[in-house]
Chains A and B, each alone.
Chain A
Amino acid sequence: MTQKLLLKSALPAALTALLADHAVFAPTGEAERHAFTCLSSAEASETADAVNLDGLTTISPKEILFPRSETLYGIGLENGEISTPEPTGPTVIFGVRPCDVRSIANLDCSFLEKGFVDTAYVQRRENLTIIALACKELQSPACFCDSMGGGPASAEGADIMLTETADGKAFLVSFLTAKGEAIEKLWETASVLTEPNSADTAPPPPVCTLKVDKPQDLPAKLMAAFDDPAWERLSESCLGCGTCSYICPTCYCFDIDTEISGGKAEQLRCWDCCMFSDYSRMAGGHDPRPTKKERLRNRFLHKLAYFDERHGRTLCVGCGRCIAKCPSGVDIAHVIEWGGTL
Chain B
Amino acid sequence: MTNEQKQTLMRERAAALMKDGAVSYVIGWRETRFPGKTAIFFVRDEKDADMLVWDEYTIPLTAKYLTENRWPDKKIGIFARGCDSKAINRLISDNQVERENLYIIGLPCEGKKDDRCLSCTQRDPLIYDELLWEPENATGTSETDLQRARFFRAEEVESLPTDARFAHWEDVYARCIRCYACRNVCPVCTCRECYVDMHRTGFQGKHHDAAENRVFGVTRAFHVGDRCIECGECERVCPMGLPILGQTQKIIKTIEGLAGTYEAGMDPEADSFLGKFDLDDKDTFM
Binding site for B on A (CB under 8 A): 31-33, 58-59, 68-69, 141-142, 210, 233, 236-237, 239-243, 245-247, 255, 257, 259, 268, 270-273, 276-278, 283, 323-325, 327-331, 333-334
* Contact yes or no, B207 A257, CB < 8 A: yes
Question: Distance (Å) between the CB of B113 and the closest chain A CB?
Answer: 16
Report how far A330 CA is from B40 CA in the complex, Å: 10
Binding site for A on B (CB under 8 A): 30, 32-34, 37-42, 60, 64-65, 175, 177-181, 183-185, 193-194, 197-200, 205-209, 236-237, 239-242
By a CB distance below 8 angstroms, the chain A residues around B30 are 329
The A/B interface has a contact count, at CB < 8 Å, of 106
Report how far A327 CA is from B241 CA in the complex, Å: 12
By a CB distance below 8 angstroms, the chain B residues around A327 are 60, 181, 185, 236-237, 239
By a CB distance below 8 angstroms, the chain B residues around A283 are 200
* Contact yes or no, B239 A325, CB < 8 A: yes
By a CB distance below 8 angstroms, the chain B residues around A278 are 197-199
Report how far A272 CA is from B208 CA in the complex, Å: 10
Given known contacts A243-B179, A255-B206, is B39 in contact with A328 (CB within 8 Å)? yes
| 17 A-B contact pairs sorted by A residue (CB < 8 Å) | A58-B240, A142-B34, A233-B42, A237-B41, A239-B237, A242-B179, A243-B181, A243-B239, A246-B239, A247-B177, A257-B207, A271-B208, A276-B180, A276-B197, A327-B185, A328-B39, A328-B185
By a CB distance below 8 angstroms, the chain B residues around A271 are 208
Question: Distance (Å) between the CB of B30 and the closest chain A CB?
Answer: 7
* Contact yes or no, B207 A259, CB < 8 A: yes
Smallest CB-CB A-B distances: 5 pairs = A329-B39, A327-B237, A32-B241, A241-B181, A242-B179
By a CB distance below 8 angstroms, the chain A residues around B33 are 210, 323, 331, 333-334
* Contact yes or no, A331 B32, CB < 8 A: yes
* Contact yes or no, B41 A236, CB < 8 A: yes
Report how far A247 CA is from B65 CA in the complex, Å: 24
Report how far A160 CA is from B33 CA in the complex, Å: 35
B207 is contacted by which of A247, A270, A323, A325 (Cβ under 8 Å)?
Answer: A270
Question: Distance (Å) between the CB of B25 and the closest chain A CB?
Answer: 9
* Contact yes or no, B175 A33, CB < 8 A: yes
A237 is contacted by which of B40, B178, B194 (Cβ under 8 Å)?
Answer: B40
B205 is contacted by which of A142, A246, A259, A330 (Cβ under 8 Å)?
Answer: A259
* Contact yes or no, A239 B185, CB < 8 A: yes
